[in-house]
Amino acid sequence: MEGRIIKSLFLAVFLLASISQSFAAVNLPETVVKKTADGVISRIEAQRSELKENPEYIYDLVNELVIPHFDFINMSKWILGKNWKSANTAQRDNFIEQFKTLLVRTYARALLEYSGQGVKYFPVEKNKKPNLAVVKTELVRSGAKPFPVNYRMYQNNDEWKIVDVAVDGVSLVSTYRGSFASQIKKDGFDSLIQKLVDKNEKLAKKLTK
């Protein structure tokens, strides 16, 4: 399960970091993805030598260019479901922080191995609710079947943010919801937070090896 989640994020970041120049339009969900991609790929190429010498610098890059475009509060609510309602304020804050760190460190590993991929774009799928949309993309791999990656977007105060990523039909939110719910049911909410802390420490060590 965990390996599939990491693989999904790995492929998703390839798409996010390989899309071409952004549209001139603003306040559109596809523009958020495109502008983010443009900034990410430019920085990686410009600072490749610095990243090689100091891999931990990739954390700053991800925090600056990628993470601001995720809505972690709503993601956390959807992932935790009823467990969000029963958690206290400290537990919610700790979960959001550790979940954010998990995505930062997983994306960081993917970005350090970035080599560029072709991408196809499809019309944005609008929801009945005007503040929801899905940006559909497809990873084009040489000699392999195209790989769909969809970004579910939510608009709040005229700002579009990512609230889920689905890779080849597998939702990041749905996958984490199941595994996190099992952990909470088994050992409690605080045990989940500690598990995320331990996982994040392991990912940090792997990055520098």
End-to-end CA distance of the chain: 24
Question: What does the pLDDT read at residue 205?
Answer: 83
CB 200 within 8 A of CB 192: no
User: How many Å separate Cα 179 from the centre of its chain?
Assistant: 17
The pLDDT of residue 24 is above 50: no
pTM to 2 decimal places: 0.80
Q: What is the mean pLDDT of residues 178-186?
A: 95
Per-residue burial over 45-83, b if 16 or more Cβ lie within 10 Å, else e, is eeeeeebeeebeebbebbeebbbebbbbeebbbbbbeeb
pLDDT in the model for residue 15? 52
Write the pLDDT tens digit of every residue in 109-159.
Answer: 776 765 666 667 788 887 888 889 998 888 776 777 877 888 899 988 888
Q: What tens digit of pLDDT does each residue of 78-102 get?
A: 999 999 999 999 999 999 999 999 8
Closest to 113 measured CA to CA, from 3, 175, 206: 206
Question: For residue 4, what pLDDT is reported?
Answer: 52
Q: Which residue has the tokens 């598990």?
A: 195
pLDDT value at 22 more than 50: no
- Give the pLDDT of residue 101: 92
- At 80, list the tokens: 């935790």
* Structural domains of the chain, with CATH: 2-208 (3.10.450.710)
Residue 56 is given by DSSP the state: T
Where residue 25 falls among pLDDT bands split at 50, 70, 90?
Answer: very low
Query: Kind and range of the H or E element at 164?
Result: strand 159-167
